[in-house]
Structure 1
Amino acid sequence: MTTTADLVSSASAKIGAFGSAYYFVPETGAVAQEHGLDIFRLYFLGRGGVLGNVEPSVVAAAFGYFEPGLIEKMWITAQKRSSLSPREAGTLYFEVCGEFGRRNFANVDNLQAFCDAAEKVSNAVDPAGLALYAGLSVEPLAEDLPARAMQLIAVLREFKGGVHLMSVVTSGLSPKIAHGVRRPDFWQAFGYSAESLPTGTDEEQRVLDQADELTARLITPVYGVLTESEGDALEAGLTAMGAAMPENASIQLDKNPAKNARM
């Protein structure tokens, strides 16, 4: 019998990987160009746009791990280059997410059961403290199943991401240090200078491990609303959609939004 903890461990890993799959694919870049943006400025304005017309520091607080100056540059210049308001960009980005699902999941079976289970999980979330999740979760979902499934994955990704950010802060580790310890290869891509990369002490790693454990404890009860058959449907849907993912569907931050920000 699969436990809720097992489901969380397996499903949340897939959701974390798949939920960003539409960010930097060529089709998203084409949409960005239609609105006078590059793919990275659409990422910042689109993902952060669900927060509304806020100051860059608010976006930086919600994103957590980026160097605030990078977010300020991208947020401000994106609005100058495009006629989109942040809220319009947020809606557009969610539609781009759905289009990714339409392109790739049209032949995936049993998406209705997946969507039912994923929506049940999302409906069980208390959005307190989860700004990006709260903003994205109120966007209307697509009616067709391939698009709806991808959008739900993105919503649940913001759920776990927000909980993990809170867990990092609660554990006493700054998000900046947590990012450097966990993803040193992406340090400069997130806007930081090479010389400022933290060494990653044993204590910092221990605290980050504690934050991971706290994240799992906090999200497990939410997934616990699913019956065993619903959990199986969630896992089966994720596995099937993973098999249908295109090869270029991955975060390509090695293309470096920090370099792009100088444009």
Structure 2
Amino acid sequence: MDATSSTIGQAGAAFYFHPDTLARGKEIGLDGFRFYMLGRGGVLGDVESDVVASAFGYFNRSLVARIWNTAKERYNPGPREAAREYLECCANLGRSTLANVEGLNAFCEAAEAIIAAANPAGLSLYVGIAAEPRAEDLPGRALQLVAVLRELRGSAHLLAVITSGVAPEVAHAVKRPDAVATFGWDPAPENTDDDRANLDAAEALTDRLLISTYESLDDSAKAALLAGTQAIGAGLGI
């Protein structure tokens, strides 16, 4: 888990604002931010913006309301279809970068085993993306599974952040100070030494929430997960 989480975090988001994803969003009438919001959040269904803000955690609710609601107005097929368009962009990036990567079949089996073992309680964004159909080809499926694993840790971490006494917007300001305004916070939320210490505790709690899931893999599956994650990261230039 320690050896894969950083790469999974980066690789699982690699398609979000990739030029090909932005181009597909433009084709269906959505700019990059609206395609991101409706595509990533669309796994939750045609819900109110506060539901999306709750699942995303770190965005200002007013920003989510503006982007989510205007994205729904512009894309008439609705959020679930936008989510499937978005996940197809994920698969397409996998196809264009991972076609020659070895070990994807074993990686996919290990990733699916983690998903099967994970306790989904309270992890709404993860549960939504995990329930979506996945590509049948290995490169596309592999990167989609990376995106699912990213949401697993991200959703668990959001629970851990709140449990550790840190407001999500404060956690975001600590970890991504250059992206505070992008997430709708201006001025940036103040943070203290206690907040930073509690955020370290939240990382440790995230590990505790997920460790039994990863420990459910046998040694060969763990090796496949690690080797596959490293190969996927290399294929994406991470």
TM range (shorter): over 0.9
Aligned counterpart for 2:215 among listed residues 224, 249, 254 = 224
- The aligned residue for residue 124 of structure 1 is 117
* TM-score using structure 1 length: 0.88
Counterpart Cα distance in 2 of 1:130 and 1:89: 21
1:134 equivalent in structure 2: 127
User: Residue deviations 1:141-192, cap 9 Å, x none?
Assistant: 1111000100100001000000000001111111111111221111111111
The question of 1:109 aligning with 2:102 is answered yes
Whether 2:63 is the aligned partner of 1:87: answer: no
1:147 aligns to what?
Answer: 140
Residue identity matched to 1:50: V
1: CA distance, partners of 2:120 / 2:104: 25
Tell me the residue number matched to 2:169.
176
SS of the residue corresponding to residue 2 of structure 2 reads helix
Name the CA distance, whole Å, in 2 between partners of 1:225 and 1:85: 37
Helix, strand or coil for the counterpart of 1:106? coil
Q: CA deviation at 1:84?
A: 2.7
| Aligned: 1:237 with 2:228 | yes
Aligned AA (1:197): P
CA distance in 2, matches of 1:29, 1:217: 36
Q: Report the CA distance between 1:139 and its aligned residue.
A: 0.8
* Aligned with residue 68 of structure 1, among 57, 61, 68: 61
1:48 to 38, 41, 54: 41
Structure 2's unaligned 5+ residue stretches are: none
| Match 1:197 to one of 175, 180, 189 | 189
The residue identity in structure 2 corresponding to 1:76 is N
Distance 1:155 1:186 in 2: 23
Tell me what 2:24 maps to: 31
Task: Write out per-residue CA displacement over residues 196-233 of structure 1, whole angstroms, 9 at most, x where no aligned residue.
Answer: 431x2111111111111000111111001111121111
1:206 equivalenced with 2:197 (yes/no): yes
RMSD: 1.1
* Match 2:11 to one of 11, 18, 43: 18
* Structure-1 residue corresponding to 2:92: 99
How many aligned residue pairs are there? Answer: 238
Counterpart contact for 1:64–1:175, Cα < 8 Å = yes
Q: Is the 8 A contact 1:60 1:68 kept in 2?
A: yes
1-structure distance, mates of 2:227, 2:188: 42
What is residue 180 of structure 2 aligned with on the other side?
187
Q: Distance in 2 between matches of 1:227 and 1:13?
A: 22
- Under a length normalisation based on structure 2, what TM-score does the superposition of the two structures give? 0.97
Where does structure 1 differ by over 2 angstroms across 4 or more consecutive aligned residues? none
SS of the residue aligned with 1:9? coil
Gaps of 5+ in 1: 1-7, 248-263
The separation in 1 between residues aligned to 2:234 and 2:175, in whole angstroms, is: 27
TM-superposed deviation, 1:246: 4.9
Deviation at 1:83, TM superposition (A): 2.0
Q: Quick one: percent identity of the two aligned structures?
A: 50
Tell me the SS of whatever aligns to 2:3: helix
